[in-house]
């Protein structure tokens, strides 16, 4: 993608005229890496008025920025500038993802924070699943104004996940069903080497939890068949923040909370926007609050 094409794409998708070389470089790099669908590219959405606050959006494992795009649109409508990053190995191919390490993903998230800081003096992070874990790792290094952790975890549901570091040499991929309309945006083959990287990331984050004091909203669903919800509750208890809220939906709510797959999507978005608005009003101050039982 040349610069002129990137600008034209960016203008048509995001509804604003941009010449930001950093973001255009991200678009170009994604195309060169093999991203062919525009929905799988990173995105940068601006509100109608000048933003003061930015939100960094990070998708989950084997997905793409599309997973966070609907959230980004709602954030822009509410007055925030929203940047959705593309983690290396995503939106391309399972074989590409198989070669990636979590340090590459974390570097992408850190680069996104720096890009977003050009437009906003305060930056929040919203991450889904592995994206949530990467934001925790980032804020341990460089604290954000606040975090929204969607379906985070310290343990995965699959009983063989802890063995992925060995199993991936014999069985490189885990097959999983993906509905026809979702095939362009999610991998039906999950590289087990990537699962091993997730476990490395979890171990890294686990060591940092007590020292993370960033105001945090955590949202989970009891219908999560990917991550252990009890491990998310354990994470919530270990998190060092004085201002933290856990909202636990019932068994009708699955792992992916940001798309129509979630029957409580509107409530999820309301919780996110309410947390951000409250954080902006209080300057990040508040008491610990366990909002379970919802």
Report whether 206 contacts 232 (CB < 8 A). no
The pTM assigned to this predicted structure is 0.89
102 against 22, higher pLDDT: 102
**Cα(87)–Cα(64) distance, rounded to whole angstroms?**
8
Q: What is the pLDDT of residue 165?
A: 66
pLDDT of residue 102 exceeding 60: yes
pLDDT of residue 284 exceeding 90: no
pLDDT of residue 11 exceeding 50: no
Query: What radius of gyration do the chain's Cα atoms show?
Result: 18
Tell me which CATH code domain 3-282 carries.
Answer: 3.40.50.1820
Q: What is the pLDDT of residue 159?
A: 62
**Cα(236)–Cα(292) distance, rounded to whole angstroms?**
11
Mean of the per-residue pLDDT values of the chain: 88
Helix ranges restricted to H, 189-285: 192-208, 229-238, 265-282
Q: What is the pLDDT of residue 246?
A: 98
pLDDT of residue 19 exceeding 90: no
Q: What is the pLDDT of residue 152?
A: 98
Q: What is the pLDDT of residue 176?
A: 83
3-state secondary structure of 183: coil
92 against 180, higher pLDDT: 92
Q: What is the pLDDT of residue 164?
A: 67
Q: What is the pLDDT of residue 286?
A: 38
Domain ranges of the chain: 3-282
Mean pLDDT of the region 13-21: 52
pLDDT of residue 27 exceeding 70: yes
Mean pLDDT of the region 133-153: 97
Report whether 60 contacts 33 (CB < 8 A). no
Q: What is the pLDDT of residue 289?
A: 52
**Cα(126)–Cα(122) distance, rounded to whole angstroms?**
14
Percent pLDDT > 90 in the chain is 74
Report whether 183 contacts 39 (CB < 8 A). no
Q: What is the pLDDT of residue 225?
A: 94
Report whether 113 contacts 56 (CB < 8 A). yes
Helix ranges restricted to H, the chain: 3-14, 21-33, 66-77, 94-98, 102-116, 130-141, 164-167, 192-208, 229-238, 265-282
pLDDT of residue 253 exceeding 90: yes
282 against 215, higher pLDDT: 215
Mean pLDDT of the region 185-201: 93
Those residues with Cβ within 8 angstroms of residue 291's Cβ, 6 or more apart along the chain or in another chain: 245, 246, 247, 248
**Cα(132)–Cα(60) distance, rounded to whole angstroms?**
8
């Amino acid at each position: 993608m040349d610069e002129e094409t990137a600008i034209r794409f960016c203008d048509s998708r995001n509804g604003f005229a941009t010449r930001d070389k950093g973001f255009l470089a991200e678009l170009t790099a994604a195309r060169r890496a093999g991203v062919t669908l525009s929905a799988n590219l990173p995105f940068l959405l601006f509100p109608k008025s000048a933003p003061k606050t930015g939100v960094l959006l990070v998708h989950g494992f084997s997905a793409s920025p599309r997973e966070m795009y609907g959230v980004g649109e709602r954030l822009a409508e509410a007055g925030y500038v929203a940047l959705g990053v593309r983690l290396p190995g995503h939106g391309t191919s399972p074989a590409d993802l198989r070669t990636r390490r979590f340090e590459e993903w974390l570097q992408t998230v850190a680069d996104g924070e720096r890009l977003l800081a050009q437009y906003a003096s305060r930056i929040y992070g919203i991450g889904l699943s592995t994206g949530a874990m990467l934001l925790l790792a980032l804020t341990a290094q460089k604290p954000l104004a606040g975090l929204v952790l969607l379906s985070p975890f310290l343990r995965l549901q699959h009983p063989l996940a802890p063995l992925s570091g060995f199993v991936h040499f014999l069985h490189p991929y885990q097959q999983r069903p993906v509905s026809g309309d979702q095939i362009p945006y999610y991998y039906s083959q999950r590289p087990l080497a990537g699962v091993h990287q997730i476990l490395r990331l979890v171990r890294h984050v686990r060591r940092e939890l007590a020292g993370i004091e960033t105001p945090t909203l955590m949202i989970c669903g009891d219908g999560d068949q990917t991550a252990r919800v009890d491990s998310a509750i354990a994470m919530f208890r270990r998190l060092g923040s004085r201002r933290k809220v856990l909202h636990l939906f019932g068994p009708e709510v699955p792992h992916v909370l940001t798309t129509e797959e979630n029957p409580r999507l509107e409530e999820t978005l309301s919780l996110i926007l309410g947390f951000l608005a409250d954080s902006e009003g209080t300057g990040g101050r508040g008491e610990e609050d366990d909002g379970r039982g919802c």
